[in-house]
Structure 1
Amino acid sequence: MASILYLTDLYYPAKGRTYYEEDIFIAGRLMDHFDVALCHPKNSEAFEDSADVIVFRNTGSVIGYKEIYRAFRERIQKNSLRTFNTFTGKADMLGKDYLLELTKLGFPVIPTVDCKSDISLLPASDRYVIKPKDGADSIGLEFLSDEELSQRHIADHVYLIQPAVEFEYEVSFYFIDDKFEYAMYAPNKTKRWEMVPYHASEEDIRFAERFISWNSISHGIQRVDACRTIEGELLLIELEDLNPYLSLLQTEKDTQEKFIVDLVSTLNNCLKEQTPEL
């Protein structure tokens, strides 16, 4: 039986999310098909070479262990480690600069710049959002009026600057590899992680698939986060391709079963392939 080193942080204090419940559920189901060992990324080095595949799951923000994460990525390449997700993504696993690229490419994303001198490139707004590029879980996020922004010193290329978009709700689309699995949304926009199942239209799914196609992950779980504007348009908030929380236990039982079946299938496919070059 193939072996999985399942990286997680069961004690990560995620607001509104229960990482340990989700990962215990997923790991428990994977144990029906693989030999599974759970480990924190800070302690994984000693066990990496003995695993057939390393599954990177709810490990929390890597801000808390930047150097350990950097060294882990170096070992992936140096030791040809097989990982899931594959570490070839261009989105959150590399930071937030992809939002700048997607803005320039004309994708349906909340317009983003990283220099005050480029604010004229954004749609006019009375309020703006600034957040550090290496932030997570809204750490360092601020809302500023147009006047406050003009008076605030903001270091170039350190913060993202976006117009504060009026929206009806946030919605997330979940994929295994390039296959759409399910969608969830937060009916109350003040309670981001109180998620319920969302019936995604074909147009909604096509929206999310554009970002999955743009990214370069061969195997992995990705979450496309978007907001529905008051005009009815979907705009990307972020593409989480590193360790997305899945709200899986808030989905229907049939959805959970399908997700596990597809996850086992793609892990088996991943095990048959050579490790990709980073």
Structure 2
Amino acid sequence: MSTASAGTRARILYVTDYTYEARGRRYCDEDIYLSGRMGEEFDVVVCHPRDAAAMLDGFDAVVIRNSGPVMHYQETYDAFRARARELKVPVYNPLDGRGDMAGKQYLVDMSRAGLPVIPTVDRAADLRLLPEAAEYAVKPKAGADSVGLFFTPVPVLPEGSDGTLLVQPRIDFRYEVSFYFIDHDFQYALYAPDTERRWVLEPYAPSPADLEFARTFVRWNSLTHGVQRVDACRTPEGELLLVELEDLNPYLSLDRVTEEVREAFVAGMKASVRRLLA
């Protein structure tokens, strides 16, 4: 429950790392814009993720945005989560996300359940379940932004790495596409028509089948509030396969959408935070 009284503005701690350098994206530009727009309705204080735990007291909610991969400050992030729960401060996105927020175990679970994801295993005994491919990707289950990723011509897990690494076939795809949601409401979609330029995005008009594909994973995640990005690839046969369910701090590529879409997103996010506070 918000501690803001009637007639006062709620205090929001907005967590981001303006200095984080991401390939093909300027996180700082997006968060300078979005924190400013949130400031039209809330009293917003911006802080670095390493300072978030110490600054929690006195805020009505925390909004986590482009804070970079948690693996770079795992102990601090764990302390923040514990402190937020202790103080009962609402966090946006809520801390019970089942996607990337909790690591990439969900890819293994979804693959076992037969959902439309890139086939994924995390144990040597299951490597035989992977389809034949020219190459295989091996990456840390707790990784992000391709940190620790390598490719191999045969599916392999180093000795002693069961449960810590993921193995997937390297998929031949036509393009990658991302679907953006606030709570369970679809906002917009963007795609990368050039497979060599992942973050050179253009507006994408999803079909009803595309939206149902994306909503499958939003429903699976069961977050009551927050921003989610469903990343997928389109195979040569036309099938969509999930690449990633980003529910911690998804980059939104707001500079790649029209002003009308951007305004609608900002209004939707403000309303979602208001619902969280209520």
TM-score, length-scaled by structure 2: 0.94
Q: Which residue, 96, 100, 119 being the options, matches 1:92?
A: 100
Counterpart position of 2:256: 250
Q: Deviations over 1:193-213 (max 9, x none)?
A: 111111111111110000000
For residues 150 and 130 of structure 1, do their structure 2 counterparts lie closer, same or farther at Cα, with a shift above 3 Å needed?
closer
Q: Which residue, 98, 117, 121 being the options, matches 1:109?
A: 117
Q: How far apart in 2 are the matches of 1:135 and 1:268?
A: 32
Q: Could you tell which deviates more after superposition, 127-136 or 3-12?
A: 127-136
- Conserved 8 A contact 2:175-2:195: yes
Counterpart position of 2:21: 13
For residues 257 and 115 of structure 1, do their structure 2 counterparts lie closer, same or farther at Cα, with a shift above 3 Å needed?
same
Q: How far apart in 2 are the matches of 1:248 and 1:82?
A: 25
Q: Which residue, 185, 189, 197 being the options, matches 2:195?
A: 189
1:179 partnered with 2:203: no
Counterpart position of 2:87: 79
The alpha-carbon deviation at position 154 of structure 1 amounts to 6.8
The alpha-carbon deviation at position 78 of structure 1 amounts to 1.5
1:52 partnered with 2:69: no
- Conserved 8 A contact 2:38-2:270: yes
Counterpart position of 1:159: 165
The alpha-carbon deviation at position 9 of structure 1 amounts to 0.2
Taking only aligned residues, the RMSD between alpha carbons, in angstroms, comes to 1.3
Counterpart position of 1:215: 221
Q: Secondary structure at the match of 1:69?
A: helix
Q: How far apart in 1 are the matches of 2:182 and 2:38?
A: 15
For residues 127 and 31 of structure 1, do their structure 2 counterparts lie closer, same or farther at Cα, with a shift above 3 Å needed?
same
The alpha-carbon deviation at position 150 of structure 1 amounts to 5.2
The alpha-carbon deviation at position 191 of structure 1 amounts to 1.0
Q: Secondary structure at the match of 1:37?
A: strand
- Where does the alignment leave 5 or more consecutive residues of structure 1 unmatched? 273-278
The alpha-carbon deviation at position 124 of structure 1 amounts to 2.0
Counterpart position of 1:39: 47
- Conserved 8 A contact 1:116-1:154: no
Counterpart position of 1:26: 34
Q: Could you tell which deviates more after superposition, 120-129 or 18-27?
A: 120-129
The alpha-carbon deviation at position 113 of structure 1 amounts to 0.3
Q: How far apart in 1 are the matches of 2:172 and 2:54?
A: 48
- Conserved 8 A contact 2:67-2:249: yes
Q: How far apart in 1 are the matches of 2:49 and 2:213?
A: 33
Q: How far apart in 2 are the matches of 1:23 and 1:249?
A: 11
Q: Deviations over 1:207-238 (max 9, x none)?
A: 00000000021110000000000110000001
Counterpart position of 2:140: 132
- Conserved 8 A contact 1:22-1:249: yes
Q: How far apart in 2 are the matches of 1:99 and 1:36?
A: 35
- Where does the alignment leave 5 or more consecutive residues of structure 2 unmatched? 1-8
Q: Deviations over 1:132-162 (max 9, x none)?
A: 111111111112112xx45965721121001
Counterpart position of 2:131: 123
Amino acid at match of 1:101: D
Q: Secondary structure at the match of 1:44?
A: helix
Q: Could you tell which deviates more after superposition, 70-79 or 208-217?
A: 70-79
Counterpart position of 1:70: 78
Q: How far apart in 2 are the matches of 1:84 and 1:152?
A: 37
Q: Secondary structure at the match of 1:93?
A: helix
Q: How far apart in 2 are the matches of 1:271 and 1:222?
A: 19
Amino acid at match of 1:165: I
Q: Secondary structure at the match of 2:174?
A: strand
Q: How far apart in 1 are the matches of 2:99 and 2:274?
A: 25
The alpha-carbon deviation at position 127 of structure 1 amounts to 1.5
